Each structure stands twice: as structure tokens, then as C-alpha cells.
């Protein structure tokens, strides 16, 4: 009976690995096809057309690594930022509710802070809450020492962080960042782009500024 159970378990494991490998191959193929795409030289030589295409790509793809834009448009990071600033100037001049933000190593299209406040009031889906000191401590530990497992966070806090982790994940401030390592299968936690956006920082290198804040707030869904 044990031999049958072991055989079944091994078969299921093999099938699972085959599915995982197929998924990885599909992702790799999609990524390779995306990178093979090249923008026509006539667009690259026309600043106005280039910025239209760049704007469209950011709109369609959502969160776009700057390195991808650099490869697509064959220019430096400084050029990418200049083009994005030109696009944002057009938004500002037309009093648009849209803007493009640089978050970490990527850029994304989002709504302006003033518009976000208006939408929150219109739809009444969010309300302002202050983050508790205990939850702020958990978020700070993750931000400064990520990636961390729950056990490591609990060890630093000397208290269970399960509730804090669930709330912070629900609010989008933290996310799973993969396994600890090859041997340690425990899931780790780290901050997200929403965390950077909310606190007005571009990269984790700006984190020391957070120590100066005495009162942090964040939006919670009803």
C-alpha cells in the first residue's frame, strides 16, 4: 500500500514540475518576443511621435521598467526622463487627471493626488485611518530589512505579526517576494511600488527620510 502511495505522490510531483516548467517556458518565450520588438526608425527620429508611442506603451503595460524603455527607444535614462517630463508637462498644461511617475526602476501611469482625493470622496470606498505604532513597526522592519520571513519579523518584534502582515498585504503595502532560499522554503515579505508611491519616495535608498515622520496615514478599504 505504501509503495502505491509513494508512486502516486511521485507521479503527482512529476506532473506538477512539468506544468511549472511549461509555465516558465511560456513566460520566457513571451518575454523574449516582447524584447524582439523594435520601434521603427522614423518614430525614433521624431520626438513628438516617439513620446506618443512611449506614452501608449506606459498606458498599455502599466508598470514599465526604465531599462525596457531604454532598449525600445535606444536612448539613455536621462533621455527617458526628459521625454516623460515632456509628456507630464502636456498633462499639466491641459489640467489632466493623469501623470506618469517614476517608482523605483520603473515608470507607471497614475492619477494625480488631487484627483485621487476627489474620486475617494465620490465613490466613498476609502476612508482615512492612522496606522498604529505596532503596525508601523512591522512595516518599518520589512522596509528596512527586506526580504524577511514571518518568523524573522516575529523574532525582531518579539510578538506575532500575522494580523499586521494580512492587513498590510490587503492594503498593497507589502507582498510576497519569493522563498528564502533553495533549502528554506518559507515565503518572504517585502514592500511594493504602492509603498514607495504612498510615502513619496522613488527608491528604498530614500527610506531614511521616513524616520523623520511622526504621523503616518494610509487608505483602508471599507
pTM over 0.85: no
Q: Residue 29 corresponds to which cell in the numbers above?
A: 518565450
Stretches in the chain below the pLDDT threshold 50: 2, 19-20, 23-24, 26-34, 126-127, 212-222
pLDDT at 216: 46
pLDDT at 124: 53
Task: Report domain extents, the chain.
Answer: 37-113, 133-219
Domain formed by 133-219, architecture? Orthogonal Bundle (1.10)
The model's pLDDT over 95-120, given as tens digits with 9 standing for 90+, comes to 998 999 888 788 988 888 777 667 76
Sign of the alpha-carbon dihedral angle for 208, 214, 219, 222 = positive
If you classify domain 37-113 with CATH, what class do you get? mainly alpha
Q: Residue 18 corresponds to which cell in the numbers above?
A: 512539468
Closest to 64 in 3D by CA, of 97, 27, 107: 107
pLDDT at 10: 56
Answer yes or no: same fold for 37-113 and 133-219: yes
The model's pLDDT over 4-29, given as tens digits with 9 standing for 90+, comes to 555 555 555 555 555 445 544 544 44
Long-range contacts of 162-168 (CB under 8 A, 24+ apart): 164/134, 164/135, 164/138, 164/139, 165/138, 165/189, 167/135, 168/135, 168/138, 168/139, 168/142
pLDDT at 28: 46
Amino acid at each position: 500500500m505504501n509503495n502505491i502511495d509513494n508512486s502516486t505522490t511521485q507521479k503527482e510531483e512529476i506532473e506538477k514540475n512539468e506544468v511549472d516548467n511549461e509555465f516558465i517556458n511560456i513566460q520566457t518565450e513571451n518575454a523574449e518576443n516582447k524584447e524582439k520588438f523594435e520601434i521603427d526608425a522614423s518614430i525614433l527620429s521624431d520626438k513628438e511621435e516617439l513620446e506618443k508611442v512611449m506614452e501608449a506603451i506606459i498606458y498599455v503595460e502599466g508598470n514599465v521598467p526604465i531599462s525596457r524603455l531604454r532598449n525600445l527607444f535606444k536612448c539613455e535614462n536621462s533621455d527617458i526622463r526628459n521625454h516623460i517630463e515632456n509628456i507630464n508637462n502636456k498633462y499639466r498644461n491641459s489640467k489632466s487627471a493623469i501623470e506618469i511617475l517614476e517608482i523605483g526602476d520603473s515608470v507607471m501611469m497614475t492619477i494625480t493626488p488631487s484627483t485621487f482625493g476627489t474620486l475617494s470622496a465620490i465613490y466613498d470606498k476609502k476612508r482615512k485611518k492612522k496606522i498604529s505604532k505596532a503596525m508601523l513597526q512591522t512595516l518599518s522592519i520589512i522596509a528596512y530589512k527586506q526580504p524577511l520571513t514571518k518568523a524573522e519579523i516575529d523574532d525582531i518584534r518579539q510578538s506575532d505579526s500575522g494580523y499586521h502582515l494580512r492587513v498590510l498585504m490587503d492594503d498593497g503595502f507589502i507582498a510576497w517576494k519569493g522563498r528564502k532560499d533553495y533549502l528554506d522554503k518559507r515565503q518572504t515579505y517585502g514592500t511594493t511600488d504602492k509603498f514607495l508611491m504612498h510615502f513619496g519616495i522613488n527608491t528604498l535608498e530614500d527610506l531614511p527620510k521616513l524616520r523623520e515622520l511622526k504621523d503616518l496615514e494610509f487608505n483602508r478599504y471599507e
